[in-house]
A and B are shown apart, each in its own frame.
Chain A
Amino acid sequence: MNRKQTWLLVGNPNTGKTSLFNKWTGLRQKTGNYPGITVKKQTGSLPPLGRLQITLWDLPGAYSIHPHSPDEQVVLETLLGRHGVFDGVVLVADLQHLRKNLLLLSEIVDLGLPVVLVINMCDEAARKGIRIDTQAIEKDWGVPVLTASAKNHLCDQTANPQTLVDAMQRARQMKARRFFPHYKLETSHFRQFLQRHTDVNAYRLWLLYTEQKALRGTAPEQEKDLPPVDPEYNAVKHRLHREVVLRYRDIGRLLAKAYAQKQKTVHPLTERIDRIMLHPVLGILIFLLVMAGVFQAVFAWSATPMEWIDRQGLHLAIWLQNSLPAGPLTGLLADGLVPGLTGVLMFVPQITLLFLFIGLLEETGYMSRIVFLTDRLLRPFGLSGKAVVPLLSGTACAVPAILGARTVENAAQRLITMLVTPFVTCSARLPVYAVLIGLVIPQRSWLGGLVNLQGLMLMGLYLMGFGMALFSAWILKHFIRSGYPALLIMEMPHYKPPIWRNLFHTLWDNVKAFLLGAGKIIVAFSIILWFLGTHGNDRFRQAARQDNPALQLEYSYLGRMGKAIEPAIRPLGYDWKIGIALLSSFAAREVFVSTLSTIYSVEGDGRQSLMEKMRNETDLRTGKPVFSLATGLSLLIFYAFAMQCFSTLAVLRQETGSWKWPAVVFGYMTGLAYGLSFLVYQFLA
């Protein structure tokens, strides 16, 4: 019979925990979300050994069992068994920061759980003159100790998975040391609580007692008996500080026996690099250059592969049309399914490039410097410094940008980042802006052509996008709270060369998640939209026989929907033709231009002739031109703020785990766009 075990992988951030996880589990990984929260849940399995099948569960990084962020709260909840049963814990520590890492170990040991200590980055030991006596730790604390390295190094005892599995089984037999009972931290109030539950681990009770605010609502039936809000709460806070101090005292005693460092590095490399990276002038300059690089990559480098994918999709569609008998099924394949799939695959180059950059920034340690430089500027809006990268890449496309928000650890800040990113002016809005600005904004320039009214309008639209993103973040900040204090305390990791395996894993993870998650929804949506645009009643079929694409579109279901919403968009200055273009923009905003071309029966795809037709278009009721300044500006505002992209909604659905947030974003953005466009049109008309 096969035996299955589940082990948790925990550790401080920046200990290389995920590197080891990737090394041990390879591609046998699964990604999911914890129910209701945007914290990623990653599991993977060790290669099967005999009859024992071990699943590892990579938890978010945590400095302590006492949570200071939603991520760390997940760690506490999981360790208390609130997210499933497990057999033990593997704690990854970093050789150079052993003291800080052992704090979490001492807490987990107190919970009475079987623990294996894995000391990572052992390859650095010789270079840094560090000697570590793993036997002494094993004997003193009663936990198995292994050394490891994500690079292939002789000191890596976990290179053979059997060693790790043996250590796990040994941990289940060994009796680890307990610290908590010696600390005498109990308040009288807690002591009463303790006496009522003599059968439960004392430290577990201490956590239930001291973290009752964080744990509220997650307790299973048998633990509902939490003490009421504590009259001695201030005393408890003091005791929690004391607990940490005492733990560090015990850790110091252990390390005095087991840890020795010969030479002391006086000016480590990190400090020297940071003198440049965090310099008030040079540092900002480098930051801007790095951001420009990310922007350039997502915007320009992705263009060629995207065009290639687009062309291949087109070739495939044409080939299908020519080689299959004409009929509804061929139409579905060639005009519905293939363009839908192409539309999904088109995002892959951007996502890959963005995550390559984010991965590099995270792996090298520069991401923390970005936070350091920008935190002060973004914090008033409820965003973390890490939101800079997703917000900026939103100028290319919101889809990779929303995925990029995964880099923000704090769940509340991550959610806010994802929700406001669609306001940032993406590249799909650009063709729409170009046509509308060309149509209604006069060509006027000053200072010998240096300043140009049309250019100013375009810049204004970009700034409005960023401004509205920040303003909305500020509003959301008041509704989405993490409940954890906001003052920045952040470890600045050492600079180090990237581990390519980790980069590859991040890329693979995100591309796979996008294709299987949001991809499905995007394909389904585009088939529905294709159906609505190419089917209709008798008059539609009549138009089809006459081969009149303009009439065909008018009498398709989509066209009839465009007409149906005319009363609603009249106050914004739009007629039913614009209504159809607005609806078909849901496939991608730039479709606005091609839809209008079809409606106005523009031959070929010349933008110039489209603009002429649009300029000559007159309203039958008033006899005035349809595309007046008022309508044009109102449309520009509408395109700047409205949520008109189902790919973005699909990816929001994937990342937040429900349709609730996409619905909120849709309602908020479209409502805002409607209101502002209404004001603009009514004011100008």
Chain B
Amino acid sequence: MKLSELRKGEKARIIACADDIPLKLVEMGCLQGREIQFLCAAPWGSPRYYRLGKDYIALDRALTERIEIRKIHEPETNLATRR
């Protein structure tokens, strides 16, 4: 799924970034395998606020469509499904 599809509070791991994302985003630590969490969006839907590893970062919504992720399920929900 895409980063833009992540819901508020959800965590994910980055799988791949489109080749045309700005180099700056890679330099800011948007790398394969990094954990990313969607914290909130500005009242007008863009930009969006993420925790990327230990850093906080604001991204234009258009950029989040170009980042491929895999959702991380919280341990609690894992336990719940096991029961």
Say if A and B assemble together.
Answer: yes
User: Which B residues have a C-beta under 8 Å from some C-beta of A?
Assistant: 17, 19, 22-29, 31-32, 39-40, 42-47, 49, 51, 53-60, 62-63
Cβ–Cβ < 8 Å partners of B49 in chain A:
274, 278, 372, 492
Residues of B within 8 Å of A245, CB to CB, are 26, 31-32
In the bound complex, CA of A487 to CA of B25 (Å):
11
In the assembled complex, A545 has its CB within 8 A of some CB on chain B: no
| Cβ contacts A487-518/B at 8 Å (1 or 0 each) | 11111111000000000000000000000000
Shortest beta-carbon distance from B42 to chain A in Å: 6
Are the C-beta atoms of B58 and A368 separated by less than 8 Å? Answer: yes
Cβ of B59 and Cβ of A283 under 8 Å apart?
Answer: no
State in angstroms the CA–CA spacing of A338 and B82 once bound together: 84
Looking at the assembled complex, report how far the CB atom of A176 sits from the nearest CB atom of chain B, in whole angstroms: 21
Shortest CB-to-CB span from A269 to chain B, Å, is: 12
Which chain B residue shows the least CB distance to A368? B58
**Chain B residue, CB-CB nearest to A278:** B40
Complex formed: what's the CA distance from A248 to B28 in Å? 11
A489 touches B22 (CB 8 A): yes
Instruction: Using CB atoms, name the residue of chain B closest to A63.
Output: B27
Which residue of B26, B27, B46 has the most chain A CB atoms within 10 A of its CB atom? B27
Decide: A97 and B54 in contact? CB cutoff 8 A.
Answer: yes
CB contacts (< 8 Å) of A63 on chain B: these are: 24, 27-28
Which A residues from 329 to 375 make CB contacts under 8 A with B?
A: 368, 371-373, 375
Measured between beta carbons, the chain B residues less than 8 angstroms from A270 are 56
Report whether A66 and B28 are in contact in the complex, using a CB–CB cutoff of 8 Å: no
Residues on A facing B (Cβ under 8 Å): 63-64, 66, 68, 96-97, 99-100, 103, 237-238, 240-241, 244-245, 248, 270-271, 274-275, 278, 280, 283-284, 368, 371-373, 375-377, 485, 487-494
Contacts of B46 in A (CB 8 A): 376, 488
Choose among A66, A241, A373, A488 the residue that contacts B43 (Cβ–Cβ < 8 A).
A373
**Hey, which chain B residues are within 8 Å of A68, CB to CB?**
22-24
- Point out the residues of chain A lying under 8 angstroms from B58, CB to CB: 368, 371-372, 488-492
Q: Given A241-B26, A489-B24, are A375 and B57 also a contact pair (CB < 8 Å)?
A: no
Docked pose: A240 CA to B49 CA in angstroms = 26
Pick from A245, A372, A488 the residue with the most CB of B within 10 Å: A488
Task: Assess whether A97 is in contact with B55, with CB atoms less than 8 Å apart.
Answer: yes
Q: Are B56 and A244 in contact (CB under 8 A)?
A: no
B60 contacts A271, CB within 8 Å?
A: no
In the complex the two chains form, is A278's CB within 8 Å of B29's CB?
A: no
* Complexed CA–CA distance, A284 and B49 (Å): 16
> Which of B57, B58, B59, B63: most chain A CB closer than 10 A?
B58
Query: Contacts A274-B39, A278-B40, A372-B49 given: A487-B27 contact, CB under 8 Å?
Result: no
Given A248-B31, A489-B59, A492-B56, A376 and B44 contact (CB-CB distance below 8 Å): yes
* CB-defined contacts of A376 to chain B, threshold 8 Å: 42, 44-47
The 3 A-B pairs with the shortest beta carbon distances in the complex, nearest first, are A492-B56, A487-B60, A376-B44
A-B contact pairs, 19 of them (CB 8 A): A100-B28, A237-B19, A237-B23, A240-B23, A241-B23, A244-B26, A270-B56, A271-B39, A271-B56, A275-B40, A278-B40, A372-B58, A487-B22, A488-B47, A489-B58, A490-B47, A490-B58, A491-B58, A494-B56
Q: Which chain B residue shows the least CB distance to A237?
A: B19
Q: Is the CB of B57 within 8 A of A489?
A: yes
Q: What is the CB-to-nearest-CB distance from B80 to chain A, in angstroms, rounded to a whole number?
A: 20
Tell me, in angstroms, the Cα distance from A488 to B57 when the chains sit together.
Answer: 10
**B74, chain A: closest CB distance, angstroms:** 13
Q: Which residues of A contact B24 (CB under 8 A)?
A: 63-64, 68, 489
A64 to B22, Cβ gap below 8 A?
Answer: no
A244 touches B42 (CB 8 A): no
